[in-house]
């Protein structure tokens, strides 16, 4: 049995959920959080159902309003889409479960609004990965971005400035995308991805211009070096829940769009042979990894350190995209799920620490590992994964990245991964040492976070390890089928 309506179900549930949460918030504020969690849980369930369906029956198409493509907008759930949808909804659920106390503290009296906007944010993201229409994608991109700006602005006193900066940069990025799309529409007369892929003439000047513009636009959204400057401020000053929700998935979805458009619409040969777009992404990402990691070492604020490490880790995905070989792309996609889990885990730990101590300076974390053993056990697992040590997910994404690079003789990837891992190790081991060894008397009354906060953290910590040990299951279930046309993972 196939349910062709499944793709539309996620956006609809989120939209209904958001409205319901907002309304419940007026009547019974305490219910808003439960309703938001339930909405996320049902979306995760739908994503699983969709994944099962796609696995057994292949891509599922849904024509919006009954207008068949290429005239109408269609939603397409293929393996790549459901892979990202699972990451988005899974992370959203885990963030939402323990969000209540932190949100009530950060946005007192307005938590229902916060949850409603979060759901709209998720609606935008899931729409992006599900749509088969390039203009529709732009609409969802703006929905997610606008709600992300709002979520960021809900943080500390400097969040407003950070959100405004994010808004400016994000809007420039979206405009670049829209301009590029305009060029493409003018030469092909279609907005449907599949249709456009068939009609494109890679040699045409407008097409080439569009490819560059779209890449720049998405590069801004994905925070590829040197377009990354908005990210550290936004992630640092947003409330801890907003950061835990945005950081793991927002940039990943931009990476999804990049993969989708570069490899599925333009085609591998155009972006890596006709035009040096892939190479440009690769070298900028290499710089991004090094700059992000170096900047992370210099930070004294835990959240800001993690934000810079996000710049670096997302750039790993960029390196995989830029290498444009099957294994490297598999590494990039594996890094999507592993980095989403570990970064979500780390930011949730920041939230838990803020909740229990009211502080997040690196110096105040001394000895906290003993006070919050479960939370920091997960933190350690995630940190080890960030460095890329086995048997975590972070190790295997690097493994595929390096193998993918070496397959085409790009031997420098080894040295690059080696150096980048050492930089990451520098700041994480420094942190772990102080977390576990130094004693601080101020911490005496600190207790482990409440169950609803600690449980998602522990689950994510375990997931980080399991995704590493069983990475070949992920590879077989998703990544092999998610490869763009022409790229095949052997073995």
Partner 1 sequence: MFSETTQPLWALVPSLLAIPLILATARRPNLRETWTLLAALSQCAVVLSMLPWVLEGHVIESTLWSLAPDINLSLRVDPLGFLFALVASTLWIVTSCYSIGYVRGTREKHQTRYFASFACCLTATIGIAFSANLLTFLLFFELLTLTTYPLVIHKETKAALSAGRKYLAYTLPAGLTLFGAICWTATTAGNLDFVAGGFLSTKHGTAETLQLIFLLFMIGVGVKAGVMPLHSWLPSAMAAPTPVSALLHAVAVVKAGAFGVLRVTGYVFGPELLRDIGAWTALAWFAGITLTMASLLAIRQDNLKRRLAYSTIAHLSYTVLGAALLSPWSWTGASLHLVFHATLKITLFFCAGAIYVNTHIENISDMAGIGRRMPVTMAAFAVASLGLVGFPGINGFASKWSLALGSLEAGQGVFLGLLVLSGVLNASYFLPIIHAAFFKTNPAFDRVAEASPWLVAPLVITATISIVWGIAPNLGAHAVDLAMLIATSVTGEHSG
Q: Which residues bind partner 1 (CB under 8 A)?
A: 384, 387, 389-391, 396, 398-400, 402-403, 406-407, 411, 414-415, 417-418, 421-422, 425, 429, 433, 436-437, 469-472, 475, 489-491
Q: Name residue, tokens 């995760």.
A: 44
* Cα dihedral sign, 366-370-375-377: positive
Backbone angles phi and psi of 63, in degrees to 5: -90, 120
Nearer to partner 1, 298 or 418 (CB): 418
Q: Name residue, tokens 């970064």.
A: 343
We find the least distance from the C-beta atom of residue 476 to partner 1, in angstroms, to be 8
We find the least distance from the C-beta atom of residue 432 to partner 1, in angstroms, to be 9
We find the least distance from the C-beta atom of residue 352 to partner 1, in angstroms, to be 21
Any idea how long the chain is?
A: 491
Nearer to partner 1, 298 or 415 (CB): 415
Nearer to partner 1, 2 or 472 (CB): 472
Picking from 210, 340, 330, the residue whose alpha carbon sits closest to that of residue 266 is: 210
We find the least distance from the C-beta atom of residue 338 to partner 1, in angstroms, to be 14
We find the least distance from the C-beta atom of residue 334 to partner 1, in angstroms, to be 10
We find the least distance from the C-beta atom of residue 456 to partner 1, in angstroms, to be 21
We find the least distance from the C-beta atom of residue 6 to partner 1, in angstroms, to be 30
Cα 402–331–49 angle (5° rounding)?
Answer: 165
Cα within 13 Å of Cα(233), Cβ side: 17
Question: Which residues lie across from 74 on neighbouring strands?
Answer: 63
Nearer to partner 1, 335 or 398 (CB): 398
Please tell me the distance from the alpha carbon of residue 419 to that of residue 426, in angstroms, as a whole number: 11
Nearer to partner 1, 210 or 289 (CB): 289
Nearer to partner 1, 67 or 411 (CB): 411
Please tell me the distance from the alpha carbon of residue 35 to that of residue 408, in angstroms, as a whole number: 50
Picking from 240, 253, 378, 364, the residue whose alpha carbon sits closest to that of residue 307 is: 240
Cα within 13 Å of Cα(52), Cβ side: 9
Nearer to partner 1, 184 or 378 (CB): 378
Cα 115–117–123 angle (5° rounding)?
Answer: 105
């Amino acid at each position: 049995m196939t349910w062709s309506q499944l793709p539309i179900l996620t956006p609809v549930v989120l939209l209904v959920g958001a409205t319901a949460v907002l309304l419940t918030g007026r009547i019974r504020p305490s219910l808003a959080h439960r309703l938001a969690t339930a909405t996320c849980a049902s979306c995760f369930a739908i994503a699983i159902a969709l994944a099962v369906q796609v696995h057994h029956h292949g891509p599922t198409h849904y024509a919006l309003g009954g207008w068949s493509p290429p005239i109408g907008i269609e939603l397409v759930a293929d393996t790549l889409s459901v892979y990202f949808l699972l990451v988005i909804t899974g992370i959203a659920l885990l963030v939402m479960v323990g969000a209540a106390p932190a949100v009530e503290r950060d946005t007192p009296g307005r938590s229902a609004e916060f949850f409603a906007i979060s759901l709209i944010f998720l609606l935008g993201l899931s729409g992006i990965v599900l749509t088969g229409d390039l203009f529709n994608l732009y609409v969802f991109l703006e929905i997610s971005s606008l709600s992300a700006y709002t979520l960021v602005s809900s943080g500390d006193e400097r969040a407003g400035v950070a959100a405004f900066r994010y808004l400016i940069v994000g809007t420039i990025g979206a405009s670049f995308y829209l301009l590029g799309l305009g060029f493409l529409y003018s030469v092909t007369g279609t907005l449907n991805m599949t249709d456009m892929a068939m009609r494109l003439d890679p040699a045409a000047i407008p097409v080439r211009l569009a490819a560059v513009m779209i890449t720049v636009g998405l590069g801004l959204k994905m925070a590829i070096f040197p377009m990354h400057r908005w990210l550290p401020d936004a992630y640092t000053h947003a409330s801890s829940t907003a950061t835990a929700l945005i950081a793991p998935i927002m940039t990943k979805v931009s990476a999804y769009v990049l993969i989708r458009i570069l490899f599925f619409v333009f085609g591998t040969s155009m972006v890596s042979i006709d035009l040096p777009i892939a190479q440009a992404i690769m070298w900028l990402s290499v710089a991004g990894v090094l700059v992000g990691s170096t900047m992370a070492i210099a930070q004294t604020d835990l959240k800001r350190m993690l934000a810079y490490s996000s710049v670096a880790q997302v750039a790993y995905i960029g390196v995989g995209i830029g290498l444009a070989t099957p294994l490297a792309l598999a590494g990039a996609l594996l890094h999507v799920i592993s980095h989403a889990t570990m970064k979500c885990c780390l930011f949730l730990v920041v939230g838990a620490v803020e909740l229990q101590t009211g502080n997040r300076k690196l110096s105040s974390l001394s000895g906290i590992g003993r006070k919050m053993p479960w939370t920091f056990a997960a933190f350690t697992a995630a940190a080890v994964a960030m460095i890329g040590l086995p048997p975590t997910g972070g190790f295997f994404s690097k493994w595929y990245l390096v193998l993918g690079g070496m397959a085409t003789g790009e031997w420098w990837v080894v040295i690059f991964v080696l150096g980048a891992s050492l930089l990451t190790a520098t700041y994480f081991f420094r942190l772990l040492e102080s977390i576990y060894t130094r004693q601080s008397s101020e911490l005496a009354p600190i207790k482990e976070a409440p169950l609803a906060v600690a449980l998602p953290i522990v689950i994510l910590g375990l997931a980080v390890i399991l995704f590493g040990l069983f990475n070949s299951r992920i590879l077989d279930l998703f990544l092999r089928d998610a490869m763009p046309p022409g790229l095949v993972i052997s073995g």
